[in-house]
Amino acid sequence: MSAATEAFLAMLAAERGASANTLAAYRRDLAQAEEAIGDLAAADRDAVARLAQAWGALAPASVARKASAIRQFFGFAIDEGWRADDPSGALPAPRARRPLPKVLGHADIAALFARAELEAAGEEPQAVRTLALIELLYGSGLRASELVGLPLVAVPRDAPFLTIAGKGGTTRLVPVGARALAALSRWLAVRPGAPASRYLFPSKGKVPHLTRVRLFQLLKALAVRAGLDPARISPHVLRHAFATHLLEGGADLRVLQTLLGHADISTTQIYTHVDAARLVALVNSRHPLATRATSD
């Protein structure tokens, strides 16, 4: 990668507090763009326009993400005085349709937890860990990266809250229900690596804590044992279920935004689609005109 793009990534880390995953995504997109058209800091409008052809086989969402990264880079280059023009107008601008979240029904959740609880009954450490993991995913709506990287000091002591370091270095308090607290207590009682590891879910591998990939694998395997389609289960799906089921239960959208750690309410609003049926039923049953007979 060019020195200019490296400087841009350093700025994202230092000034915007971008996470390691975010930086990796930016690095990949910018490196691929430079492989196609050369040094971005010196690329002219015609060169930038050629990216449309290079991205021709990609999904609209992928093109939109890559274009966003390059636009931000050009803005940074102008601010730094490396160039006077902004050729990003030549970038393709597809309308990426935000996919609706996969949703698990209450019966699926019940089956998943029933299996996890049955396996954890013998207090075998790995089974108890799996139960604690799904309790926090579904009970508190944590992101996979937030969950696996939880330090021991984040575990609630006097108050039922987790202190979560989210995207961009932001910190939020997430409530932990009685079930999740009980699962955490069981896990702490059998957790290996104490007190050497500072992480709640330590690992024996090169990474000091459980990885997102391993978490994904554990959930897939649990789904199979619970008789569920593993393709429908992932850490993010359980986070979606947390949000969806809270909204169904009457949670306020702003409260949900805070719990999920969304910077923009528009990100949270995607969950309102799942509540459409309940809202229609509410109007039909509670609206003053609902009790009036229709005229022929």
Instruction: Please name the residues in contact with 137: beta carbons below 8 A apart, sequence gap of 6 or more.
Output: 144, 147, 235, 238, 239, 242
Segment 223-235 shows an average pLDDT of 92
- 49 and 131 assigned to the same domain: no
Active site residue 239: yes
- 170 and 254 assigned to the same domain: yes
- 76 and 215 assigned to the same domain: no
Active site residue 262: yes
CATH of the domain at 38: 1.10.150.130
- 114 and 166 assigned to the same domain: yes
- 73 and 147 assigned to the same domain: no
Q: Any idea which of 181-195, 205-219, 229-243, 273-287 has the lowest mean pLDDT?
A: 273-287
Say how many domains are in the chain: 2
The span from the CA of 122 to the CA of 238, in Å, is: 25
Which tens digit of pLDDT belongs to each residue from 120-153?
A: 999 999 999 999 999 999 888 888 888 898 888 8
Phi, psi of 209 (to 5 degrees): -135, 170
What proportions of the chain, in percent to the nearest 5, are helix, strand and coil?
65, 5, 30
- 70 and 159 assigned to the same domain: no
Active site residue 240: no
- 193 and 269 assigned to the same domain: yes
Look at residue 183 in the predicted model and tell me its pLDDT: 93
Look at residue 282 in the predicted model and tell me its pLDDT: 61
**pLDDT(248) > 60:** yes
Which is catalytic among the residues 26, 138, 199, 271? 271
> 144 and 212 in contact (C-beta within 8 Å)?
yes
Which is catalytic among the residues 65, 71, 167, 172? 167
Q: Is residue 198 part of a domain?
A: yes
**How far, in Å, are 61, 103, 251, 271, 276 from residue 97 at the CA level?**
7, 18, 26, 15, 19
Tokens of 135: 């309790």
Active site residue 167: yes
- 10 and 140 assigned to the same domain: no
Which is catalytic among the residues 115, 191, 209, 239? 239
Active site residue 245: no
Active site residue 66: no
Domain range enclosing 160 = 106-279
Tokens of 6: 């490296």
- 275 and 213 assigned to the same domain: yes
